[in-house]
Chain A
Amino acid sequence: MQGQRNKKDRKLEVRLGRLRLKNPVMTASGTAGYGAELAEFFDLSELGAIVLKGISLTPWQGNPTPRITETRCGMINSIGLQNVGLEVFLREKLPFVRQWDVPVIANILGTSAAEYTRLASALEDAGVEGIELNVSCPNVKEGGIAFGLDLKSFRALVRAVRKRIRRPVLIVKLSPGAPGIEEFSRAAENEGADAISLINTIPAMAIDVNTRRPLIKNRIGGLSGPAIKPIAVRMVYQASRAVKIPVIGMGGITTGEDAVEFMLAGATAVAVGTATFMDPMAALKVAGGIRAWMERHGIKSASAITGAMLA
C-alpha cells in the first residue's frame, strides 16, 4: 500500500531548481500566515511547499481598517504587510512550521536592497528551503513595489540577494503592473533567480455608493480571487515563454482545473491564495483536483502539463 501511494505521489512531483515538490501546489504568501492556523485543518506536509507571510527586518503594524472588501468574484485587500519582524519570526514562528515535512519558502520585503540581503542571509542560516522576494505588494509604498516597477533597481536587487545566498532557491514575485512582464522575467532569470512567481494582486478600488465612502480605508488595495484569473493566466503564459526557469502561477485558483489551466499556460507549480479564505482546505483540494484531471486525461506526470497547451 505504502509503495503504491508513494508511486502515486511521485506522479505529482515537480521541481523548482534544486527543490523537489511532492506536488505542484503551494500556498500564496499572505494567505497561510506562518503555518500554525492551517495546521489546525490539515497536515502541512501534504502541500508542495508552504510560502509564509512576508517578513521584514522589524515588525510592521499594517494598515488601518477596513482592510478588506468583497467585490464580484474577488476581494480587495489592503493589509499593509503586517508582520512580526525577523527576530520573532525566527524565534517563534519558523520552529513551528519546521515540524512538517514540507519545503518552507520565506517571503521577504524591505525598503532597500541592504534590508533584503540581510533578511535573505538570516533566513538561509535558519535553513529555509526557499526565499521569495516580494517586489510587488501594491499596499505599502516601501513594500518593494518600487523594485518591481523599475527595471534597473529590480536587476540590482535580484543580483544583490543572489550573491548573498547559496542554498535556498531564489524566487522573485513579479508585479502585474511591471512595464513589460517578459523583460522583468528575463531580468530575474539573468540575475540568477531560480524561479519567478506571478501574479501579485492588481491595484483596485471600490466605493460604497450609499455612504459615498471607500470600502477600504486606504482607498486603493489589491484585487485577488477568480476575477483576476484570466489576466494571471495570460501573464504566466507570456512570462514562461520568455524564460527557461520555472514559473509559479497564481491568481484566482480555486480548483484543480484552474491549476491545470495555469500549468498548460506554462506554470511548473501554482499557488493558492484567496481560495484558502473561502475554504481552509482549498490548497489540498486543488492538489487532489490536479491528480483527478491527470487520471482523466491519462497524464502520467504533473511536469508534463507545463506548457502543454495545444495550438
Chain B
Amino acid sequence: MFGVRSCERDPLLKRPFCYFRKRGDEIDILYRVVGKMTSIMKGLRPGDKVEILGPLGNIYPMEEAECGAKIPLVIAGGVGIASVYPLLERLKGKGILFYGGRNKKEILLRKELREISKKMVVATDDGSLGFRGTAVEAAGDFLKGRDREGFVLYACGPNGMLKAASGLGVNGYIASEEKMACGIGVCLGCAVRTKDGYKRACKDGPVFRTGEILFD
C-alpha cells in the first residue's frame, strides 16, 4: 500500500492505493476516479510530481497457497482487483478468481487475469458479462459440494462484499478499505472493529484474517 498526495497540498491528506503491478522500473497504480485526488491523478502528465509514502501496512500471507497445501480462492470486487493482481501473479496460475463488478465495463484486464489464474469466473450485477450476481455468490455456487478446508480465501472489495465473503466458510484473508489520514498508525482514523478491539487498517492491516473483523 502507498499513500499518494498532490504536491499542491490540496487535498491535504494522502490517499491510500495498493501496489498493482511493476513494469520495468515503474510501478502501476490501478484506481477509479471518484473524487478530487483521483481526478488530479487522471490529469497528471509524464514528469509531473506527486508525493508518495510507502510501502505501508502488510500484505496477503501466501505460505499455504504457495506450498500447495491449499487452493487459493480469490474474490475481488471492482477496483479491489488491483490488490489481488500481484497475488495471482505470484501464485503462478494456482489461484481461482471470482471477479465481480456492476457491469461489463467495470471488468478490467480480462486477458491478463485469465493468464495468471487457474480459473476465472466473472460476475456482473446486471448480467452483461458472465455470471449474473455477485462474485461472492458465484464463489458460493462453486464451493457447493466441495470441501472448504481445501481452500484459502483472499478477498478485496467494498465492505458489503467482504462481509459476504467472510460468510462463505472458507478461512483466509481479507483486505479492508477504510478512510485513512496518516497512513502510519498514529491518527487511529482508519480503525477496523475486530474481535480484539479496534485495529488500524493502515498499520495492523489492511489485510486481516477472516473472522477477525466484526462487520456491522
The reply to whether A65 and B191 form a contact with Cβ atoms under 8 Å apart is yes
Verify if A278 is at the interface (C-beta below 8 Å from B): yes
Shortest beta-carbon distance from B194 to chain A in Å:
11
The reply to whether B51 and A279 form a contact with Cβ atoms under 8 Å apart is yes
The reply to whether B12 and A79 form a contact with Cβ atoms under 8 Å apart is no
Verify if A70 is at the interface (C-beta below 8 Å from B): yes
Give Cα distance in the complex from A225 to B187, angstroms.
Answer: 13
Verify if B53 is at the interface (C-beta below 8 Å from A): yes
Verify if A308 is at the interface (C-beta below 8 Å from B): no
Question: Which residue on B lies nearest to A227, using beta carbons?
Answer: B12
For B12, what are the chain A residues with a Cβ–Cβ distance below 8 Å?
A: 70, 73-75, 225-226, 274, 277-278
Q: Mark A140-155, 1 if CB is under 8 A from B, else 0.
A: 0000000000000000
The reply to whether A278 and B5 form a contact with Cβ atoms under 8 Å apart is yes
Which bucket holds chain A's interface residue count? 20 to 34
Given contacts A62-B198, A277-B13, A278-B5, contact A69 B179 (CB under 8 A): yes
Q: Mark B6-18, 1 if CB is under 8 A from A, else 0.
A: 0001111110000
Q: Mark B36-61, 1 if CB is under 8 A from A, else 0.
A: 00000000000000010100000000
For B10, what are the chain A residues with a Cβ–Cβ distance below 8 Å?
A: 73
The reply to whether B182 and A70 form a contact with Cβ atoms under 8 Å apart is no
Give Cα distance in the complex from A279 to B50, angstroms.
Answer: 13
Question: Which residue on B lies nearest to A40, using beta carbons?
Answer: B184
Verify if B67 is at the interface (C-beta below 8 Å from A): no
Interface residues of A in 263-279 (CB under 8 A from B): 274, 276-279
Give the interface segment out of A30-38, A118-126, A129-137. A30-38
Verify if A190 is at the interface (C-beta below 8 Å from B): no
For A40, what are the chain B residues with a Cβ–Cβ distance below 8 Å?
A: 184
Give Cα distance in the complex from A38 to B53, angstroms.
Answer: 13
Give Cα distance in the complex from A61 to B197, angstroms.
Answer: 7
Verify if B148 is at the interface (C-beta below 8 Å from A): no
Given contacts A68-B181, A70-B12, contact A77 B53 (CB under 8 A): no
The reply to whether A61 and B186 form a contact with Cβ atoms under 8 Å apart is no
Shortest beta-carbon distance from A77 to chain B in Å:
6
Give Cα distance in the complex from A74 to B11, angstroms.
Answer: 9
Main secondary structure of the interface of A (DSSP, over half): loop
Question: Which residue on A lies nearest to B191, using beta carbons?
Answer: A65
Shortest beta-carbon distance from B131 to chain A in Å:
28
Verify if B193 is at the interface (C-beta below 8 Å from A): yes
Give Cα distance in the complex from A231 to B159, angstroms.
Answer: 38
Verify if B185 is at the interface (C-beta below 8 Å from A): yes
> Which residue, B5, B12, B184, has most C-beta atoms of chain A within 10 A?
B12
- Total residues of chain B contacting the partner, CB 8 A: 28
Give Cα distance in the complex from A41 to B182, angstroms.
Answer: 13
Verify if B118 is at the interface (C-beta below 8 Å from A): no
The reply to whether A82 and B184 form a contact with Cβ atoms under 8 Å apart is no
For A33, what are the chain B residues with a Cβ–Cβ distance below 8 Å?
A: 185-186
Give Cα distance in the complex from A62 to B187, angstroms.
Answer: 12
Verify if A280 is at the interface (C-beta below 8 Å from B): yes
Shortest beta-carbon distance from A100 to chain B in Å:
16
Verify if A127 is at the interface (C-beta below 8 Å from B): no
Verify if A66 is at the interface (C-beta below 8 Å from B): yes
Verify if A67 is at the interface (C-beta below 8 Å from B): yes
For A274, what are the chain B residues with a Cβ–Cβ distance below 8 Å?
A: 12
* Cβ-neighbour of A31 out of B5, B13, B186 (below 8 A): B186
Shortest beta-carbon distance from A217 to chain B in Å:
10
The reply to whether B198 and A75 form a contact with Cβ atoms under 8 Å apart is no
Give Cα distance in the complex from A23 to B184, angstroms.
Answer: 25
The reply to whether A67 and B13 form a contact with Cβ atoms under 8 Å apart is no
For A82, what are the chain B residues with a Cβ–Cβ distance below 8 Å?
A: 188, 191, 198
Given contacts A61-B197, A70-B11, contact A276 B189 (CB under 8 A): no
Give Cα distance in the complex from A64 to B179, angstroms.
Answer: 13
Give Cα distance in the complex from A67 to B192, angstroms.
Answer: 11
Given contacts A274-B12, A278-B9, contact A62 B181 (CB under 8 A): no
Give Cα distance in the complex from A186 to B154, angstroms.
Answer: 58
The reply to whether A66 and B186 form a contact with Cβ atoms under 8 Å apart is no
The reply to whether B13 and A278 form a contact with Cβ atoms under 8 Å apart is yes
Given contacts A61-B197, A65-B178, A82-B191, contact A75 B185 (CB under 8 A): no
Sample (10) of A-B pairs whose CB atoms are under 8 Å apart: A31-B187, A33-B185, A33-B186, A37-B185, A61-B197, A65-B178, A65-B190, A68-B179, A69-B179, A254-B9
Please provide the 4 A-B residue pairs with the shortest distance between their CB atoms, ordered closest to farther.
A68-B189, A277-B182, A33-B186, A277-B181
